């Protein structure tokens, strides 16, 4: 039984008010709220364990190291990677993608080589490639979308050339909610012997992810979007790829030995983890994974799917409603505009009613251009949202629409 009332009790922030109204938090695609057990684990580790990892022979250091490495194993099991060595801790999805682009780009790409991305990418899967393009003269090819917000797979197939070196695609769009058929996308790339990086920032919080089943070569996600702390994220990579990639940053922790003549780098995963890692964050992430695993990813997905279906249906009752992203396979994100009400006005007025939504370009300006809009309002749901909250949103939008008319 999915008991959302009981679940909400685990998130103290959900009990607060905003402008005297009960908070309705619908900005989960930007970041999620944290269950008490995650926040407690962070405080407890600082209070009772804190010491730098991998270095000290002393008790606390070993205990902190154990927690940190147990977290790596927890992440491995959570996304079903084959080995813990394939789990690299980063600051988030953005850093994970930058790491891969920099390292892969330096090793395997030269002038004229190509990366394939899509029209619905977040800036964090566009700009790093552009930086590489400016440095090394690579070019970026873009899979177009149709008007319902789905990738055109026939066009994707046509983008492969002998200069294609990698494909980098989001699993779920943070704007359209589209769930891309990544297994098929990866299989097509592999038929050309091309590796694929999947941006899992918006998929991992909402569905069961199995990197071996989808056969991703690289996979990135952020802790803060999956009910864990900020500042921690993951890059997964197949061992045979990571072994061939050069380090991203240099420093402590990532070396076996250093002399002024020669440095020998550490083995995986430490080769990619220069400096003191966020070992408090990794343990916090592990606790978040414990939390959602206890609820069950399938149960979360079913619950959120039903909630989103309900919200989509209610949204369509609103006169002048335009929803952006109506893919058959859609996650718990609804982007919209009503009549000619500016997205910022809608967001600001909803906020006054205690409803937190996102407005603007959602770090996907090329997608805004494709959709022919300057910005959108986005409501995105998490495992603790309810139909009553959706009703509050609908009533709020109706009230604002009436004001403008």
Give the active site residues. 363
Interface residue with ligand PMP among 93, 98, 332, 335 (CB under 6 A) is 93
Shortest distance, CB of residue 199 to ligand PMP, whole angstroms?
5
Q: Does 122 bind ligand PMP (CB under 6 A)?
A: yes
Is residue 168 a contact residue for ligand PMP (CB under 6 A)? no
CB of 339 or CB of 360, closer to ligand PMP:
360
Q: How far is the CB of 319 from ligand PMP (least distance, A)?
A: 30
Between 96 and 353, name the residue whose CB sits nearer to ligand PMP: 96
User: Whole-number minimum distance, CB 175 to ligand PMP, in Å?
Assistant: 8
**SS (HEC) of the chain:** CCCHHHHHHCCHHHHCEECCEECEECECCCCCCCCHHHHHHHHHHHHHCCCCCCCCCCHHHHHHHHHHHHHHHHHHHHHCCCCHHHEEEECCHHHHHHHHHHHHHHHHCCCCCEEEEECCCCHHHCHHHHHHHHHHCCEEEEECECCCCCECHHHHHHCCCCCEEEEEEECECCCCCEECCHHHHHHHHHHCCCCEEEECCCCCCCCCCCHHHHCCCEEEEEHHHHCCCCCCEEEEECHHHHCCCCCCCCCCCCEEEECCCCEEECCCCHHHCCCCCCHHHHHHHHHHHHHHHHHCHHHHHHHHHHHHHHHHHHHCCCCCEEEECCCCCECCEEEEEECCCCHHHHHHHHHHCCEECEEECCCCHHHHHHHCCCCEEEEECCCCCCHHHHHHHHHHHHHHHHHHC
Binding mask 321-360 for ligand PMP (x = CB under 6 A): ----------------------------------------
**Residue 62 Cβ, how far from ligand PMP at the closest point, in Å?**
31
Note whether 124 binds ligand PMP by CB under 6 A. yes
* Least distance from ligand PMP to the Cβ atom of residue 124, Å: 4
Site residues for ligand PMP, 26-45, by CB under 6 A, read 29
**Using the rule CB under 6 A, which residue among 32, 103, 174, 180 binds ligand PMP?**
174
Site for ligand PMP in 188-227 (CB under 6 A): 199, 201-202, 222
Q: Which stretch binds ligand PMP (CB under 6 A): 41-49, 92-100, 147-155, 384-392?
A: 92-100
- Where in 357-376 is the site for ligand PMP (CB under 6 A)? 363
Instruction: Write out the residues near ligand PMP by the rule CB under 6 A.
Output: 29, 92-94, 122, 124, 170, 174, 199, 201-202, 222, 363
């Amino acid at each position: 039984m999915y008991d959302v009332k009981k679940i909400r009790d685990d998130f103290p922030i959900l009990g607060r008010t905003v402008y005297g109204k009960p908070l309705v938090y619908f900005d989960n695609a930007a970041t999620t709220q944290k269950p008490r057990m995650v926040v407690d684990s962070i405080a407890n580790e600082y209070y009772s364990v804190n010491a730098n990892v991998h270095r000290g022979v002393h008790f606390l250091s070993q205990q902190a190291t154990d927690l940190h490495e147990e977290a790596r194993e927890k992440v491995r099991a959570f996304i079903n990677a084959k080995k813990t060595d394939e789990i690299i801790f980063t600051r988030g999805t953005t850093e994970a993608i930058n790491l891969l682009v920099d390292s892969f780009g330096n090793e395997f790409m030269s002038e004229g080589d190509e990366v394939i991305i899509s029209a619905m990418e977040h800036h964090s899967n566009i700009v790093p490639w552009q930086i590489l393009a400016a440095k090394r003269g690579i070019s970026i090819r873009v899979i177009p979308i149709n008007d319902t917000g789905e990738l055109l797979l026939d066009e994707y197939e046509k983008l492969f050339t002998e200069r294609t070196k990698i494909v980098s695609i989001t699993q779920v769009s943070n704007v359209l909610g589209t769930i891309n058929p990544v297994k098929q996308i990866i299989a097509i790339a592999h038929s050309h012997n091309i590796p694929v990086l999947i941006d899992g920032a918006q998929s991992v919080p909402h569905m069961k992810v199995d990197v071996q089943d989808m056969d991703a070569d690289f996979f990135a996600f952020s802790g803060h979007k999956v009910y864990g702390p900020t500042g921690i994220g993951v890059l997964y990579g197949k061992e045979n790829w990571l072994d061939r990639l050069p380090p991203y940053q240099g420093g402590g922790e990532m070396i076996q030995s250093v002399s002024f003549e020669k440095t020998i780098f550490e083995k995986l995963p430490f080769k990619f983890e220069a400096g003191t890692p966020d070992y408090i964050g990794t343990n916090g992430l592990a606790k978040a994974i414990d939390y959602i695993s206890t609820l069950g990813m399938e149960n979360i997905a079913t619950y959120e799917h039903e909630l989103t279906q309900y919200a989509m249906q209610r949204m369509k009752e609103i006169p002048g409603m335009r929803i952006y992203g109506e893919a058959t396979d859609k996650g718990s994100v609804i982007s919209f505009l009503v009549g000619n009400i500016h997205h910022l006005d809608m967001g600001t007025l909803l906020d006054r009613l205690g409803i937190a939504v996102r407005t603007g370009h959602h770090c996907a300006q090329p997608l805004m251009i494709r959709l022919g809009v300057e910005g959108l309002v986005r409501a995105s749901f998490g495992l603790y949202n309810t139909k009553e909250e959706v009703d509050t949103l609908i009533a709020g939008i109706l009230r604002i629409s009436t004001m403008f008319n």
